[in-house]
Amino acid sequence: MAVYFIFNALIVIISRKVMFAVTCLVLTLFNCGLDIEAGKLSTLDGGTSHPVPNGNPTTENNLHAIAGMRAFTKEEEAEPRIVGGKEAWPHSWPWQAVLCFADMPACGGAILSQYWIVTASHCFRRYSKESFWSVKAGKHDMENEHESCQQNSKVVKIITHKDFNGITKENDIALLKLQTPLVFDECVRPIPVWSGDLPSLKRCAITGWGSTTESGPRADKLQEANITILEFDTCLKLYGGVIRSSMMCAGQEAGGVDACQGDSGGPLSCFTGERYEVAGIVSWGVGCGRAQKPGVYTRVTFYTEWINSIVDDQLGADVTWKTSTESRKLFPSTKDEVKNCGQAEVKPCRLDQGFVGFESSEPSGELRVANVTEACPHSWPWQVSLQSEELHYCSGTLIDERWVLTARHCRAEAGDMVVLGAHDLMVGSQQVSIKAVYSQPYDGSYPPLHDLTLIYLRVPARLGSSVLPVCIPDEDMTFDQGLSCVVTGWGYKRSTPNLSPDVLHQAQVNPLPEQACWNGWGQVFSSNALLCTQPAASSSCLGDAGAPLLCQKNGQYYLAGMMALGVKRCDQQKPAIFTRLSGFQSWIEKIKNHEGLK
């Protein structure tokens, strides 16, 4: 705890710093206006929110719809635990995160996206090594280590503001990047950054688990309080020249409502009339809840450009996160990015070795696949990995921010994870769970004529340099024999022993004439529903089911085909077969439109 002496007297300024004995988030609380009536909850700003049934995923259509929106689960009614304060309704502040040092609660934070937490720099003044820190989301009861909504992630990057001053508390803001992305549901949601000026005397909410009285014990269950944003001149009058334009005061001049030890870095959440946005970060103050000594908060809007510059500078799945100061959206619009389908920012490379083929391995004579190379990272940004229990089982292809195509025989299920923006599967990437699966019916044919599944993601993918959609061909679009195409995927087969199964690889192919397909498969091959390429490109040779066949036209890559179920063993007499996507455009649009009407 930092102790400062100002105003010609000994006044203990209790910095909301991490303390090992007294850690994680607090409030000297005020009754925040949560009224339970007729099955509804009245929010701080007078709106009503119906409880979300426990365990049911959110039904919002996109992240903008859930960002900053409170959720209420059906749990026991919250009861006042401290004088003038109230326990929060469980999981009703879903962007609240807790930062743990060596597994001990230490500071609060606000969830900005699946990978990013905003908090206070002073939390890391003494201990800034990432391996010491972890983040918990979806928490309510600190005494319950196995809450159903709880999500845990290690911290891989701590970025404190370069101009943070530990004495004056200027620039008291930091960003944390998570190793494992959060999964948004009714208990875990992001919050946008407040845009524009924050009106004085506006009522906002503070939340946390810190001390309930000055130097007292921390709260076990999340607390909430309703406080007022004070005018800047009032803040200057109460604290003098230590107040900067990047700070603001909130509380009551009479005292009694404030953040306290352990609440450092927690959010000051303000209602816009539509949703909550994070306007402040708990920074410092004189004591807790003292008269004429309101809490001082970092003004988050002041750092919007800094947040954007930091996040944009970090490579990986979350590279395109933006805080919007005009539209009040958490993420940027992706409409233009969807229009620019099939155009990767990183150009494909290492495709100059010729078409995929076979070579013999002496002395056994066993077939080996030749001309397969490691892809340049993020040169195929629509490629996704389908995973169950953190194990890759099939590839898929992103066709827009909410939809992925794969092979029906992959048997994808709701609840499985879609990993986007990955190159090496051992490195953390953006993850979104599957909400629904739509498959073409199996007609008993072999090779299957309708080996196709459409996957609906629980939340939209965050598009950026490493995550972009591919183009879907029109029904009249053809891919001729002379066209150069590419097959991409992960996986391992004996025929490709020199390839790492965890690193994305690629092989150049070209569509074969119908006669060549018939020669290998006989009259069961249907050119209306299937394409075929060199045998070495099959899943039994390259090792990845559901891999895409990508062909370039007019500077854009199209998903010409989806690798279909073929032979079990790598066979140089059997051409690789792919479901012809142009024949299923109407079905794809029908399914997408149907889901959109729900």
Q: Name 420's bridge partners.
A: 384, 430
Within this chain, do residues 448 and 373 fall inside the same structural domain, yes or no? Answer: yes
Contact 335, 323 (CB under 8 A): no
Provide the number of structural domains found in the chain: 2
574: nearest Cα among 447, 417, 416, 434: 447
Please indicate, yes or no, if residue 328 is contained in any of the structural domains: no
CB 452 within 8 A of CB 584: yes
Q: For residues 28 and 250, what is the distance between their CA atoms, to the nearest angstrom?
A: 13
Give residue 49's pLDDT.
Answer: 43
Contacts of 37 (CB under 8 A, 6+ apart): none
Last residue of a domain, one of 283, 305, 327: 305
Which residues are annotated as catalytic? 122, 172, 264
- As a whole number of angstroms, the distance between CA 232 and CA 238 comes to 10
Per the domain annotation, does 276 fall within a domain? Answer: yes
State the Cα–Cα distance between residues 344 and 555, nearest whole angstrom.
10
Rounded to 5°, angle at Cα 195 from 113 and 228: 100
Residue 289 sits in the same domain as residue 392:
no
Q: Which residue has the tokens 């079905």?
A: 587
DSSP 466-524: TB-PPBPPPTT----TT--EEEEE----TT-TTS-TTB-EEEEE-PPPHHHHHHHHGGG
Is the same domain home to 159 and 98? yes
Phi, psi of 535 (to 5 degrees): -55, -35
Same domain, 171 and 87: yes
The residue among 251, 328, 323 whose CA lies nearest residue 291 is 251
For the sheet with 530-533, list strands across it.
372-374, 505-509, 485-489, 548-553, 556-563, 576-580, 530-533
Contact 526, 498 (CB under 8 A): no
What does the pLDDT profile of the chain (598 residues) look like in tens digits?
333 333 333 333 334 333 333 333 333 333 333 332 222 233 444 443 433 334 434 434 456 678 888 775 544 333 322 223 578 888 899 999 999 998 888 899 999 999 999 999 999 988 889 999 999 999 998 888 888 899 999 999 999 999 999 888 899 999 999 999 999 988 999 999 987 777 777 888 889 886 555 455 667 889 888 888 988 888 888 888 788 888 998 887 665 554 554 478 999 999 887 889 999 999 987 756 566 778 899 999 888 888 988 886 653 434 334 433 333 344 333 344 445 799 998 888 888 778 887 776 556 666 778 888 889 989 999 999 999 988 999 999 999 999 999 999 899 999 999 999 999 888 767 888 999 999 988 777 777 788 899 999 988 888 888 899 999 988 778 777 777 799 999 976 666 677 788 899 998 988 888 888 888 888 777 777 788 888 888 877 877 889 999 999 888 999 999 888 767 777 878 888 888 888 888 889 888 887 655 5
What phi-psi label fits residue 387: left (phi over 0), alpha (psi between -120 and 50 degrees) or beta? beta
Same structural domain, 365 and 506: yes
* pLDDT, position 154: 95
pLDDT of residue 46: 41
Residue 515 lies in a domain: yes
285 and 376 fall within a common domain: no
Residues 285 and 370 in one domain: no
For residue 473, being part of any structural domain is answered with: yes
Q: Which two tokens stand for residue 335?
A: 């409409």
Tell whether 60 is covered by a domain.
no
Token pair of 266, please?
């927690």
Q: The CATH number of the domain where 402 resides is what? A: 2.40.10.10
Is residue 50 a contact partner of residue 39, using CB atoms and an 8 Å limit? yes
Range of the domain at 178: 66-73+80-305
Rounded CA-CA distance 247/554 in Å is 52
Residues 147 and 294 in one domain: yes
Q: In this predicted structure, what is the pLDDT of residue 63? A: 67
Distance CA 352, CA 285 (A): 63
Judge if 429 and 560 occupy the same domain: yes
